[in-house]
Amino acid sequence: MNKAKALDIVKKYTMILVLIIVTAFFAWQTEGSLLLPMNISSLISQNAYVFILATGMLLCILTGGNIDLSVGSVVCFTGAIGAVLMMNKGVNMYVAILVMVLVGTLIGAFQGFWIAYVRIPPFIVTLAGMLAFRGLSNVVLDGMTVSIKEQEDFVNLFGGGANCYIPDFFGGNGLNITCLLVGIVAAVIYIVIQLKNRIDRSRKGYEVESLTGMLVKTVLIVAVIIAFTYKLAQHKGIPTVLIWVMIVVMVYGYITSNTTTGRYFYAVGGNEKATKLSGINTNKVYFLAYLNMGFLAALAGMVTIARMTSAQPTYGQNYEMDAIGSCFIGGASAYGGTGTVPGVIVGAVLMGVINLGMSLMGVDQNMQKVVKGVVLLAAVIFDVVSKRGGKLISKN
């Protein structure tokens, strides 16, 4: 195995190994409390917004390392509009959901227009959006908290209530059989997809990974899926918010890896001038990235107010940092053109494990921020150094 190939393998699986090591460390330090079924379920619920926002942020980063600083404020703003419509205006829940989606998407389109067609730097546009929509959130809520506890259907639909779990249709005694069956089906589907992809690549003459490597990877991932669903089955089963997360992950995972539009994001981040010369509308790619980010911010807003059962002017603070951090930790390049949805999810899980582990250990909030900052810096340093062939200092 040559040096370049070895480096590629290390880059591909480094964060997975780090996630395993970090999880094992906190499980040891918390005497196994981290892996309790209730904490596994809480990890999903508390970090659902990160999974959703980080998936959208990946598309922005792919276009050249660009980011969206406004997502936390947009989460708060769309959530505030929804809460006020449902509670103060008596608007139907589904109408309020539609309004939230439209508002978030329009915000994304508004920012995308200035970025894509006027070519104002994304940092400036989204920084302005971060300030503006935070202020508008205060205006909509009049600086007050709006409770949505009475909207039980909305709260349960987006994973915030006591009944926000998929019911067990088989009536398991202390163990959610439906959850276990879902895990088994998911594992089987994953195995079938892996085999199909390998066969297809072999028929087309593409390079495929070694059979041993594929088997080891498949066995490990299947084991994780089964163990994960078993832990959830020991608590209350599958949280409804996990359904939303899985839909987002599967849809955007498919778009980025199996569609022409998805490949455009990588092309623009790799070399925008060459992409434009090849006939691709790069302005449209930028516009779609930020339009999509607004849409997913609206979804994250629904998840946030459902979990909190209220809307407050302070919600969504630092959400953009969690999303950006998850992308870079999960392997997205700071220069654009590199990154995957599964990698982003690994990064988000790692951030969630660090947060939960340190909270269970009673680590001070300020020190938690220090640790997350160091982890983020280390991930970006690894990305930059690996692109230089392992050299820390640039010759330029």
Q: Report pLDDT digits (tens) over 259-305.
A: 999 999 999 998 889 989 888 999 999 999 999 999 999 999 999 99
pLDDT value at 195 more than 70:
yes
pLDDT in tens, 371-390: 888 888 887 787 677 665 55
Q: Across 181-295, where does the E strand assignment appear? A: none
208 burial class (0-12, 13-18, 19+ CB within 10 angstroms)? middle
The C-alpha atoms of residue 322 and residue 309 are separated, in whole angstroms, by 21
List of long-range contacts for 206-211, beta carbons under 8 Å, 24+ apart: none
Q: What's the pLDDT score for residue 54? A: 94
The C-alpha atoms of residue 252 and residue 37 are separated, in whole angstroms, by 28
Instruction: State the amino acid at position 28 in one-letter form.
Output: W
pLDDT value at 112 more than 80:
yes
pLDDT in tens, 294-344: 999 999 999 999 999 999 999 998 899 999 989 988 888 888 888 889 889
Query: Which position has the token pair 């959006």?
Result: 129
The C-alpha atoms of residue 328 and residue 18 are separated, in whole angstroms, by 14
Confidence class of residue 393 from pLDDT cuts 50, 70 and 90?
low
Per the prediction, the chain carries an average pLDDT of 88
Q: What's the pLDDT score for residue 372? A: 82
pLDDT value at 179 more than 70:
yes
Q: Which of 79-83, 158-162, 201-205, 229-233 has the lowest mean pLDDT?
A: 158-162
Beta bridge partner(s), residue 165: 239
pLDDT value at 5 more than 70:
no
List of long-range contacts for 268-277, beta carbons under 8 Å, 24+ apart: 268/62, 268/63, 268/64, 268/336, 268/337, 269/61, 269/62, 269/63, 269/64, 269/65, 269/333, 269/335, 269/336, 269/337, 269/338, 270/336, 270/337, 271/337, 272/64
Of 264, 71, 45, residue with least CA distance to 159 = 45
pLDDT value at 9 more than 70:
no
Instruction: State the amino acid at position 91 in one-letter form.
Output: V
Are residues 357 and 22 in contact, defined by beta-carbon separation less than 8 angstroms?
A: yes
C-alpha to C-alpha distances, 22 to 19, 106, 384, nearest whole angstrom: 5, 40, 22
The C-alpha atoms of residue 193 and residue 219 are separated, in whole angstroms, by 14
Torsion of CA 43, 46, 50, 51, to 10 degrees: 50
Confidence class of residue 19 from pLDDT cuts 50, 70 and 90?
confident
- pTM check: above 0.85: yes
pLDDT in tens, 140-172: 999 899 999 888 889 988 887 666 888 888 876
Of 331, 320, 329, 328, residue with least CA distance to 293 = 320
Can you tell me whether residue 162 is helix, strand or coil?
coil
Q: What's the pLDDT score for residue 390? A: 56
Instruction: State the amino acid at position 265 in one-letter form.
Output: F
The C-alpha atoms of residue 383 and residue 322 are separated, in whole angstroms, by 18
Q: What's the pLDDT score for residue 21? A: 86
Q: What's the pLDDT score for residue 6? A: 57
pLDDT in tens, 24-55: 988 998 888 888 888 888 888 889 999 999 99
Can you tell me whether residue 165 is helix, strand or coil?
strand
